[in-house]
């Protein structure tokens, strides 16, 4: 999934919602309490040097479709504690001679989410509009495979925990359904760049 697909999906959701909602502002009356949700996205990773494969590979850049599920509790309209399951997909790149390197990353991330809600969008029944940011810790399994046409391979699997932070924009629809576009930076072990773009939805009880 590329960035254009994500933006197009968000635009389609918002356009449909605006056309279906009844006149009058969609007031977010679920300011506190439990919420559940999930989403899809694109994860991009760059690695300059592999410690165990430095004689063979000196650069790696790949992306794949990622997905997440999450649950959280809003203590007030501005602050929530959230737990996410993040699966960043199987990022793979092919090198000369038919060699292939794959990276699989998946795990759990508790985080603190701060939200700044605004009023309904001007001239539409959609709102409130929200800005939000998160910071937390990602506890994950990092599995790497290097495979050659001869079947020779190096397989390494480790667990780590590192910082995750990000933010984005969202809209509340039908009073309790929120859609969000979010960009996260993940401090993944041995990577020079690691980030994800998400399109998510959440239901507020």
**Is the preceding peptide bond at 128 cis, omega within 30 degrees of 0?**
yes
What class has domain 3-204?
A: mainly beta
Give me the half-sphere count of Cα atoms (radius 13 Å) on the Cβ side of residue 195.
10
- As separate numbers, helices (DSSP H) first and strands (DSSP E) second, the chain gives 1, 8
Residue 130 · residue 118 · CB < 8 Å: yes
Give me the half-sphere count of Cα atoms (radius 13 Å) on the Cβ side of residue 122.
0
Listed residue (36, 65, 107) closest to 197, CA to CA: 65
> What pLDDT is attached to residue 200?
97
> pLDDT for 58-74, tens place per residue?
556 777 899 999 999 99
Residue 39 · residue 196 · CB < 8 Å: no
pTM for the full predicted model = 0.74
> pLDDT for 176-198, tens place per residue?
899 999 999 998 887 888 999 99
> What pLDDT is attached to residue 119?
72
Listed residue (79, 141, 155, 77) closest to 109, CA to CA: 141
| CB neighbours of residue 73 within 10 Å | 14
> What pLDDT is attached to residue 96?
64
- CA atoms of 5 and 198, how far apart (whole Å): 11
Q: Where are the domains of the chain?
A: 3-204
> What pLDDT is attached to residue 77?
82
Series of mean pLDDT values for 10-residue runs along the chain (205 residues) = 51 46 43 92 78 51 88 92 94 71 90 88 69 96 80 78 95 88 91 91 93
- CA atoms of 49 and 190, how far apart (whole Å): 8
> What pLDDT is attached to residue 56?
45
> pLDDT for 5-16, tens place per residue?
544 554 554 444
């Amino acid at each position: 999934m590329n960035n254009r697909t994500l933006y197009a999906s968000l635009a389609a959701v918002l356009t449909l919602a605006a056309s279906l909602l009844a006149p009058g502002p969609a007031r977010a009356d679920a300011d506190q309490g439990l919420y559940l949700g999930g989403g899809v996205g694109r994860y991009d990773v760059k690695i300059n040097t592999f410690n165990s494969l430095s004689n063979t590979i000196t650069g790696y850049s790949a992306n794949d479709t990622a997905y997440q599920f999450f649950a959280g509790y809003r203590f007030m309209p501005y602050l929530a504690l959230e737990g996410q399951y993040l699966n960043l997909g199987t990022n793979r790149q092919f090198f000369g001679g038919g060699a292939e390197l794959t990276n699989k990353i998946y795990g759990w991330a508790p985080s603190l989410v701060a939200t700044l809600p605004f009023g309904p969008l001007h001239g539409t029944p959609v709102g409130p509009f929200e800005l939000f940011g998160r910071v937390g810790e990602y506890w994950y399994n990092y599995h790497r495979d290097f495979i050659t046409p001869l079947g020779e391979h190096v397989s390494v699997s480790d667990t780590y925990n590192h910082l995750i932070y990000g933010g984005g924009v969202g809209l509340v629809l039908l009073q309790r359904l929120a859609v969000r576009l979010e960009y996260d930076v993940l401090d993944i072990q041995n990577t020079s760049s690691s980030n994800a773009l998400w399109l998510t939805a959440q239901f507020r009880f």
